[in-house]
Amino acid sequence: MKTALIFIQVAMLIVLSPLVSGIIRKIKNNIRMRKGAGIFQPYYNLAKLFAKEEVVSDTTSWIFRAAPFVVLASSVCALSLVPVFSPALSFSNMGDFLSLIFILALGRFFIALAGLDAGSAFGGMGSSREMFISTFVEPVALLSIFAVSLNAGSTNLASVSAPAVLRLSSIIAALSLFIVTIAETSRIPVDNRETHLELTMIHEAMVLEYSGRPLALIELASHIKQILFFSLIAAVVIPWGDFALKMAAIIIAVSLIEVSVAKMRLFRAVDFLSFAFVLSIMAVIVSAAGY
């Protein structure tokens, strides 16, 4: 019964993940006083991509074809480790937060390889930038979740999310993980998923050679990764208060940031992520002090 409920939770989050992207885009359009597309536009985009014919370069290897499936599978596996609606509803007994970070790193590794495998200048540039950003993002994500795991005395995500107690270390860890979430989901000011300007692309540069169903799988994986990080903050790092309200607050915060600031230059993003690293170190120290 528990296993069935976990599968239902994961399936529900996968179905809802494009809706989160649609709501963020709608809020941004409303703030800018534009009509824009509806909140269901990401679903229409996915349906259109699944129906399109795939075009693949003759110079690519099996890595290029396998990468979309690895990226999607790693996102779904990582999502199954996160207890969203209840501490009992996850497969966290099969892996702790370290497993979650490494599973996501596997997907990042393959999509970076696929960017290089295509042999295009943009793909290589995007892969190089993605690996550069990941050297800052992954340590911050590890330290942020480690800080809240110190409060629970366990690295198991279900144990970390079980005590509904708000601590100072959890708030600091949530701030640092929120900055990481902006970088991991390719959002302004670190990246801009809505542009194809070669000087600013990071994630989009790696997937320029994809089309049709493989591109749809990569887009779906990015929606899943986004709701995964939002859920990590709302259900694990701050396991206090109403989950829906926390998710709404995160969605509104992301939307406001995207319409308020411009995209940073790549090397300025390092300062932004370094600030998150300092916050994560501070969260560990405060947590070790018992707050």
Among the ranges given (55-59, 132-136, 146-150, 284-288), the one the predictor scored with the smallest mean pLDDT:
55-59
Is it the case that residue 177 has pLDDT exceeding 70?
A: yes
Q: What pLDDT score does 14 carry?
A: 95
Task: pLDDT band for 154, please (50, 70, 90 cuts).
Answer: confident
Task: pLDDT band for 28, please (50, 70, 90 cuts).
Answer: very high
Question: How many C-beta atoms lie closer than 10 Å to residue 17's C-beta?
Answer: 22
**φ/ψ (deg, to 5) at 35:** -75, -55
Q: Which two tokens stand for residue 232?
A: 């990590």
Is it the case that residue 218 has pLDDT exceeding 80?
A: yes
Of 47 and 154, the structure prediction assigns the larger pLDDT to 47
Q: What is the pLDDT of residues 52-109, one digit of tens each?
A: 988 888 888 999 999 999 999 999 999 999 888 877 777 877 878 888 999 999 999 9
Q: What pLDDT score does 262 carry?
A: 82
Task: pLDDT band for 163, please (50, 70, 90 cuts).
Answer: low
Q: What pLDDT score does 153 carry?
A: 84
Q: What percent of the chain has pLDDT over 70?
A: 97
Instruction: Note if the pTM is more than 0.75.
Output: yes
Q: What pLDDT score does 164 carry?
A: 65
Is it the case that residue 152 has pLDDT exceeding 90?
A: no
Task: pLDDT band for 200, please (50, 70, 90 cuts).
Answer: low
Task: Give the amino acid at 124.
Answer: G
Of 50 and 86, the structure prediction assigns the larger pLDDT to 50
Per the CB < 8 A criterion, the answer to whether 80 and 88 are in contact is: no
Task: pLDDT band for 250, please (50, 70, 90 cuts).
Answer: very high
CA atoms within 13 A on the CB side of 21: 26
Task: pLDDT band for 235, please (50, 70, 90 cuts).
Answer: confident
Q: What pLDDT score does 93 carry?
A: 76
Q: What pLDDT score does 125 carry?
A: 86
Long-range Cβ pairs for the range 140-143 (8 Å, 24+):
140/176, 140/177, 140/179, 140/180, 140/273, 140/276, 140/277, 140/279, 140/280, 141/101, 141/177, 141/180, 141/184, 142/97, 142/98, 142/101, 143/176, 143/277, 143/280, 143/281, 143/283, 143/284
Interatomic CA distance for residues 107 and 109, integer angstroms: 5
Q: What pLDDT score does 198 carry?
A: 62
Is it the case that residue 206 has pLDDT exceeding 90?
A: no
